[in-house]
């Protein structure tokens, strides 16, 4: 016997419909690339999202065709979130911090047909458009008539001209909730980046879960500042949960420095902010010398990298702001765990509470997790035994776009590449990473890319790259190199060799010359041993 309730597909268009009908006057505030502040409401977002959908129809874009963005957090990006997915196309948010070669590769792999970009990225698009034959419409996210002359990009239009010509009426189509809605590439440890392809269903379930009190606790009373980029796992899903709750949204645009973020928090009475530790480091660094205070900020969700204990303490004790430590992945939409205390913890002394807050937290309903040993056997939740962390749930990837990399699952579980303990109360703590990558300021650097480039230098016999702790960026890459016998090679010479081969911020901070790289029985580099041998090493300028 089937239940007798109405069956409606969970579609992203229903979020924007809801925001318009039930929270239409909720404010959206954006710092624009031009530097000024733009204000409007959820009602305007909905109307302009419909115009986006119309403009895409005008290009004869079919169901599931890809529309890419290279854009900061701002109102036009938000309209694309709803207009592209709502009309049945797939929003592909590209990370502009990647190397242009990688961006061109990603756009071609995704088969993007439209690229909407902020003026900041005009030089980048000028560099790659000749290599992306599938993109048939370029849209500059700027005011009407503001496209500069002589860009060399064929058919480039301003966003306002593009959507301005469209009527505001549009009936959102209804379709299978399992249809693809958006995609995000993540740099793999080996080979090319792979894409997580989100569905309408996974996005809506994640949006519900993210808004729960023990998760991000979002409500119509909040003013929310996502500093985490909209090109990074959909800004942790905040745009969708914001539409669901009707909260005020505040977008920082390209200005992510401490001063700009602080000003926005104060002027827009932000109650809740989200970002990686590096951004908050810059914010606290700006506030401390002048003894600045927060007048409205209550909570901040920090994830992407481990949150340093000093940051949790500073936010809590010096500024009265609750830190919610979160863990997740692009492959997980991204939320997996969030650290909120249980009732029984509230009577504990602050020091003990802070020790718990340092953990990455408890699984959100919808995510199941386990830790396993090398043989795949599940390990005890004793808070001491570390194991490989596996997850499963309806907003976790089953397979990468185009089946890249084969079947990623093991008995239905997704191996995260993280190593963790879980305690008896279900609190996860990340203790290490089994995947060979470095995370700097919340962005990935592939150790293997760095090693391969070094090894292509004639004077390098062997190279191994490891992440070293950095006070601002969390980790920075250092490459250990064995020189070929009888050949000369200096640190600066090798660092210069990286020029143009990877993005500037991915170039190692230092080169350490060693006699040998420690190898295991199978010839695999033993990075743990290498890291041990670098104990006491300090990165330059730290």
Q: Taking contact as CB under 6 A, which single stretch among the options 28-36, 175-183, 267-275, 321-329 is the one that binds ligand ADP?
A: 321-329
- Report yes or no: 81 and 230 within 8 Å, Cβ to Cβ: yes
CA dihedral 386, 391, 397, 403 (to 10 degrees): 60
Q: Which of 88, 193, 226, 328 binds ligand ADP (CB under 6 A)?
A: 328
Is position 433 an interface residue for ligand ADP (rule: CB under 6 A)?
Answer: yes
d(CA 237, CA 245): 13
- Report yes or no: 43 and 17 within 8 Å, Cβ to Cβ: no
Q: Which of 334, 366, 387, 441 binds ligand ADP (CB under 6 A)?
A: 334
Q: Which residues are catalytic?
A: 186, 331, 439, 444
Q: Which positions from 213 to 252 touch ligand ADP by CB under 6 A, shown as an x/- string?
A: -------------------xx-------------------
d(CA 56, CA 79): 13
Residue placing its CB nearer to ligand ADP in the complex, 30 or 337: 337
Q: Taking contact as CB under 6 A, which single stretch among the options 33-41, 64-72, 286-294, 325-333 is the one that binds ligand ADP?
A: 325-333
Is position 195 an interface residue for ligand ADP (rule: CB under 6 A)?
Answer: no
Q: Which of 30, 95, 330, 340 binds ligand ADP (CB under 6 A)?
A: 330
User: How many residues interact with ligand ADP (rule CB under 6 A)?
Assistant: 22
- Report yes or no: 70 and 115 within 8 Å, Cβ to Cβ: yes
Residues numbered 344 to 383 that lie near ligand ADP (CB under 6 A) are: 360
Residue placing its CB nearer to ligand ADP in the complex, 166 or 186: 186
- Report yes or no: 198 and 234 within 8 Å, Cβ to Cβ: yes
For tokens 């902010």, name the residue.
273
Is position 202 an interface residue for ligand ADP (rule: CB under 6 A)?
Answer: no
Residue placing its CB nearer to ligand ADP in the complex, 157 or 307: 307
Is position 314 an interface residue for ligand ADP (rule: CB under 6 A)?
Answer: no
Residue placing its CB nearer to ligand ADP in the complex, 238 or 450: 238
Q: Which of 13, 30, 73, 416 binds ligand ADP (CB under 6 A)?
A: 416
Q: Which of 329, 356, 391, 422 binds ligand ADP (CB under 6 A)?
A: 329
Task: Give how far the C-alpha of residue 194 lies from the chain's centroid of Cα atoms, to the nearest Å.
Answer: 14
Least separation in angstroms between residue 444's CB and ligand ADP is 6
Residue placing its CB nearer to ligand ADP in the complex, 95 or 137: 95
The burial of 461, by beta-carbon neighbours within 10 Å (0-12 exposed, 13-18 middle, 19 or more buried), is given as middle
- Report yes or no: 157 and 136 within 8 Å, Cβ to Cβ: no
Least separation in angstroms between residue 25's CB and ligand ADP is 31
Q: Which of 102, 137, 166, 186 binds ligand ADP (CB under 6 A)?
A: 186
Q: Which of 306, 369, 454, 465 binds ligand ADP (CB under 6 A)?
A: 306
- Report yes or no: 167 and 302 within 8 Å, Cβ to Cβ: no
Q: Which of 31, 325, 457, 527 binds ligand ADP (CB under 6 A)?
A: 325
Name the residue among 267, 272, 277 with its Cα closest to residue 298.
Answer: 272
**How crowded is residue 478: how many other Cβ atoms within 10 Å of its Cβ?**
23
Strand 335-338 relative to strand 322-328, pairing: antiparallel
Show the 3-state SS of 429-469: EEEEECCCEEEECCEEEEHHHHHHHHHCCCCEEEEEEEEEE
Residue placing its CB nearer to ligand ADP in the complex, 258 or 336: 336
Residues numbered 493 to 532 that lie near ligand ADP (CB under 6 A) are: none
Strand 474-483 relative to strand 460-470, pairing: antiparallel
DSSP E strands in 103-221: the ranges are: 112-117, 137-140, 157-158, 180-186, 194-199
- Please list the residues that pair with 443 across neighbouring strands: 440
Is position 278 an interface residue for ligand ADP (rule: CB under 6 A)?
Answer: no
Residues that bind ligand ADP (CB under 6 A): 186, 232-233, 303-306, 325-330, 334, 360, 416-418, 430, 433, 439, 442
């Amino acid at each position: 016997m089937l239940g007798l309730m109405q069956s409606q597909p969970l579609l992203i268009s229903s979020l924007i419909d809801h925001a318009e009908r039930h929270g239409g006057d909720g404010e959206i505030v954006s710092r624009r690339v031009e530097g000024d502040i733009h204000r409007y409401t959820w009602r305007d977002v909905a109307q302009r999202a419909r115009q986006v959908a119309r403009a895409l129809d005008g290009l004869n874009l079919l169901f599931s065709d890809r529309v890419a963005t290279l854009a900061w957090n701002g109102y036009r990006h938000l309209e694309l979130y709803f207009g592209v997915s709502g009309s049945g196309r797939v929003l592909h948010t590209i990370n502009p911090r990647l190397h242009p070669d990688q961006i061109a590769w990603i756009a071609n792999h995704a088969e993007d047909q439209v690229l909407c970009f902020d003026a900041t990225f005009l030089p980048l698009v000028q560099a790659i458009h000749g290599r992306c034959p599938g993109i048939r419409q370029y849209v500059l996210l700027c005011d009407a008539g503001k496209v500069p002359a002589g860009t060399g990009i064929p058919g480039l239009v301003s966003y306002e001209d593009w959507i301005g010509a469209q009527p505001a009426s549009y009936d959102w189509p209804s379709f299978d909730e399992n249809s693809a809605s958006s995609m995000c590439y993540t740099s793999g440890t080996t080979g090319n980046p792979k894409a997580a392809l989100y569905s309408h269903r996974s996005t809506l379930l994640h949006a519900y879960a993210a808004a729960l009190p023990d998760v991000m606790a979002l409500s119509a009373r909040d003013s929310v500042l996502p500093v985490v980029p909209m090109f990074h796992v959909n800004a942790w899903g905040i745009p969708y949960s914001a539409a669901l709750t009707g909260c005020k949204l505040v977008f920082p645009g390209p200005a992510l420095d401490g001063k700009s973020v602080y000003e926005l928090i104060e002027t827009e009475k932000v109650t809740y902010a989200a970002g990686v530790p590096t951004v908050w480091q810059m914010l606290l660094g700006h506030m401390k010398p002048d003894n600045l205070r927060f007048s409205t900020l209550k909570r901040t969700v920090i994830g992407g990298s481990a949150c340093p204990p000093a940051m949790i303490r500073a936010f809590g004790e010096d500024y009265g702001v609750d830190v919610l430590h979160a863990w997740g992945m692009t492959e997980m939409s991204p939320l997996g765990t969030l650290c909120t205390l249980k009732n029984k913890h509230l009577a504990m002394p602050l020091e003990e509470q802070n020790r718990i807050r340092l953990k990455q937290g408890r699984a959100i309903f919808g995510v199941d997790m386990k830790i396993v040993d090398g043989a795949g056997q599940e390990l005890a939740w004793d808070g001491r035994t570390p194991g490989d962390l596996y997850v499963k749930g309806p907003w976790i990837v089953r397979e990468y776009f185009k089946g890249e990399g084969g079947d990623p699952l093991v008995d239905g579980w997704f191996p995260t590449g993280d190593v963790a303990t879980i305690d008896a109360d279900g609190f996860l703590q990340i203790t290490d990473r089994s995947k060979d990558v470095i995370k700097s300021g919340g962005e990935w650097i592939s150790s293997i890319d760095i090693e391969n480039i070094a090894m292509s230098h004639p004077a390098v016999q062997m190279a191994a790259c490891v992440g070293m702790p950095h006070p601002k960026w969390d980790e920075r890459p250092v490459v250990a190199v064995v020189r070929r016998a009888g050949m000369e090679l200096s640190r600066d010479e090798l660092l210069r060799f990286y020029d143009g081969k990877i993005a500037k911020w991915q170039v190692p901070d230092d080169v350490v010359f060693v006699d040998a790289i420690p190898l295991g029985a199978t010839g695999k580099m033993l990075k743990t041993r290498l890291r041990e041998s670098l104990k006491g090493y300090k990165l330059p300028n730290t």
